Amino acid sequence: MDLTSDLQRRARAIRFVLTDCDGVLTDNGVYYSSAGEELKRFSIRDGMGVERLRRFAAVDVGIVTGERSGAVERRAEKLMITELHLGIKDKPAVLREILARLGLKAEQVAYIGDDTNDVDIMRQVGLAACPADATPFAREVAHYVCANRGGYGAFRDLAEFIIAARAVPAALGE
């Protein structure tokens, strides 16, 4: 089986996508006002990727991040993401809990992350992805490297890849 076929097979099996936040949904920067207000920049295109995954592939999305951020909470609310896990240090434990609660197998979950704290969970899912500007640690374990950088459409890249793969019948894609 060639690499393209393997990636398409993995993408067709996906029923749920988990994403890190900083470095994937944001540009990895944190901005603080003089009053200490934390600001993060999110890509509107990534938000459309969440919506398109739901609409065209019946795939829902969750966020698992090590940070605790009101901005992330507000973004998740805007995107109607109910699987929001903030302040997480053990991402594989969250994956196990989600698999058990939703009755999913690890092969049915995709995860997109960009750094060392994402590597363990990336090794456990059916489709591991990373933004174009991810660290070498994440790139090494990723099945799919997005064309765009974090905060600039990386999540949308993954979403469109899954949607396209799910649209191709298995007999034609492999």
Going from the N-terminus, what domains does the chain have, and what CATH number goes with each? 3-169 (3.40.50.1000)
What residue spans of the chain are helical by DSSP H?
3-12, 44-57, 70-78, 91-102, 119-122, 136-141, 154-167, 170-173
- The predicted pLDDT at position 34 comes to 83
Residue 167: its pLDDT value, please?
85
Query: What pLDDT is attached to residue 23?
Result: 97
Mean pLDDT, consecutive 10-residue segments, the chain of 174 residues?
Answer: 80 98 94 81 97 97 95 96 96 98 98 98 98 98 98 98 84 47
Report the pLDDT value the prediction gives residue 173, as an integer from 0 to 100. 45
Cβ atoms of residues 14 and 127 within 8 Å: yes
pLDDT value at residue 35: 79
